Amino acid sequence: MRSNHLQIIGCCLLVPQLAWLNKAAAEELRHRGLIGVTLRDEYAKNGERGRSAGGSGIHVVAVMPNSAAAAANLQADDIIIKIGPDPTPNLAVGLKWLRKYFAGDEVELTIVRAGKEKTFTVTLRARPKEKWDGFEVIYDQAGTTDQRVRTLVTRPPAPGKYPAILFIQSLSPASIELAFPMPYPLRSVVDGFTKEGFVFMRADRLGTGDSDGLSVRDTTVKMDIATFRSALAKLRTYEFVDPRKVFILAFSSGGAIAPIVARKHGVKGVITFGTMARPWIVQAVEMMRRRWTFELLPEDEMVANTRALKNFLRQCFVKNKSLPEVFAEHPDLAEFVRKFNVVSDDRDVFGMSLSFGRQLMDLRIENEWAKVDAPVLAIWGKSDFIASRKDSQLVIEAVNRSHSGNGTFVALPGTCHSCCKAEDQEESFLAGAGDFNPVVVKTVADWIRQQIKNDDS
């Protein structure tokens, strides 16, 4: 598949933020288009995996029926080498160039088919918008004039003012729009909280979904903080939101920025799920070691792997060396990271750019939580093999050191990192995401209602 505080009410809180929001409203965000293909760098055919003859291009794995690609006669096994005038040496670059275009735009694709170069013109079709049973979704935006982000807000159908939740997702390249009715855990999260009587806001990061930016790789930690602060300000302006009862729910790595987003913004409380508090590379090493345990690797091999991974991450994120520099100085590490898919697209480590990973390393997350003066709930699923229990506990220890009694830690049995059911960490790793565990929504909703009750009393 997360965000420090003042209890300020109404206009006093909104005044310094309204000018920023007005800038964001200057021009409406356009909905991005859909080609209708499955793409990847490598192809697999007749059991063989490889790349195009030139080692470059994006391979069309499948073409969706009744799609823009089908109408333009694209076929599986085509190799896209240009999008408009821009070469596409790999999928990451190709996806970046695709973000130049929107629904209704004509895009010229240069492809190689059976060794011959051809050109096709594809008219992008509108990506479907979200649909929910029992409530509506509002497509809106936040941010500034040149850094607008897509927001999606769901609300209970009955009129009135409701408590609200700003969701801060894992800081990944994926969009939080749920246009296709597939059983994503996030869909159950949105559905659950809205039906529990909360307004629920999501915001896409810059470089994802409809938001501005050609590539999420160009997005910085500071930009992410600004994104969610602007979304928080926007959330308070809706007439169906009680601005005195706004909470933040941060998932996974989103918890690294949650305390900073919350600071001096008058939130009623902050909830994290499977978060991080220590430098993220520490958690990455622990996660990989758990994985190797479940794969039944011999102890000596696990020790050697752990040593190699620590060395690799230290070279990249402590000594700040480039990947070519690391592999030139430590050729043994090149084979190690290839074997365990630590590096993707020949440049991203565990799915994030080197620059973003270094910015995360610069955060003193535990210290930031000590500045939070609102109640904090840190949840960790006992079947979570990705996040560590220790990080969620450190969050609460930091909160309670500065504001005794404000922090609560909860360990949920039978719950994995994706908020799904799993008997234990091994089952979560081996079987993948199972059915969504509704106890996650219930635990958070009950805690939020208790905070509101405490304040009202």
The CA distances from residue 335 to 182, 309, 339, 420, in Å, are 36, 12, 6, 34
Q: What are phi and psi of 155, to 5 degrees?
A: -145, 150
Domain boundary among 126, 158, 179: 126
Contact 207, 214 (CB under 8 A): yes
Residue 95, domain CATH: 2.30.42.10
Do residues 64 and 110 share a domain? yes
What is the tens place of the pLDDT at every residue in 394-416?
Answer: 999 999 999 999 999 999 999 99
- Rounded to 5°, the CA angle 218-254-361 comes to 65
Show the domain range for 53: 33-126
d(CA 428, CA 420): 9
Residue 396 confidence (pLDDT): 98
Sign of CA dihedral 136, 142, 148, 149: negative
pTM of the full structure: 0.89
Residue 45 has pLDDT above 90, yes or no: no
Q: Indicate the SS3 state at residue 186.
A: helix
Residue 8 has pLDDT above 80, yes or no: no
Sign of CA dihedral 269, 16, 204, 88: negative
Residue 48 has pLDDT above 70, yes or no: no
Do residues 1 and 76 share a domain? no
Residue 354 confidence (pLDDT): 94
What is the tens place of the pLDDT at every residue in 219-266?
Answer: 999 999 999 999 999 999 999 999 999 999 999 999 999 999 998 888
What is the tens place of the pLDDT at every residue in 303-336?
Answer: 999 999 999 999 999 999 999 999 999 999 999 9
Q: Model confidence at 62, in pLDDT bands (50, 70, 90)?
A: very high
Containing 230, the helix (H) or strand (E) segment is helix 221-236
Residue 40 confidence (pLDDT): 86
What is the tens place of the pLDDT at every residue in 67-81?
Answer: 999 999 999 999 999
Contact 149, 211 (CB under 8 A): yes
Residue 426, domain CATH: 3.40.50.1820
Residue 128 confidence (pLDDT): 87
Do residues 308 and 321 share a domain? yes
d(CA 415, CA 436): 9
Number of domains in the chain: 2
What is the tens place of the pLDDT at every residue in 359-382?
Answer: 999 999 999 999 999 999 999 999
Do residues 300 and 400 share a domain? yes
Task: Give strand ranges (E) for 309-413.
Answer: 343-344, 348-349, 376-381, 407-412
d(CA 349, CA 36): 28
**Could you tell me which of 49, 123, 128, 35 has the C-alpha nearest to residue 80?**
35
Q: What is the mean pLDDT of the chain?
A: 89
Do residues 16 and 47 share a domain? no
Give, to the nearest 10 degrees, the angle between helix 299-317 and helix 354-362: 90
Q: Model confidence at 26, in pLDDT bands (50, 70, 90)?
A: low
Do residues 154 and 277 share a domain? yes
Residue 42 confidence (pLDDT): 61
Residue 212 confidence (pLDDT): 95
Do residues 97 and 134 share a domain? no
Residue 295 confidence (pLDDT): 94
Residue 389 confidence (pLDDT): 97
Mean pLDDT: which of 40-44, 113-117, 124-128, 406-410 is highest? 406-410
Identity of the residue numbered 105: D
Tokens of 236: 């308070």
Do residues 420 and 400 share a domain? yes
d(CA 34, CA 126): 6
Q: What is the mean pLDDT of residues 340-352?
A: 84
Do residues 58 and 192 share a domain? no
Q: Higher confidence at residue 47 or residue 274?
A: 274
Residue 55 confidence (pLDDT): 55
What is the tens place of the pLDDT at every residue in 274-303?
Answer: 999 999 999 999 999 999 999 999 999 999
Residue 274 confidence (pLDDT): 97
Q: Indicate the SS3 state at residue 130.
A: coil
Name the pairing type of β-strands 199-203 and 147-155.
Answer: antiparallel
d(CA 229, CA 192): 24
**Could you tell me which of 167, 223, 169, 203 has the C-alpha nearest to residue 359?**
223
Do residues 247 and 257 share a domain? yes
d(CA 251, CA 171): 9
Identity of the residue numbered 193: F
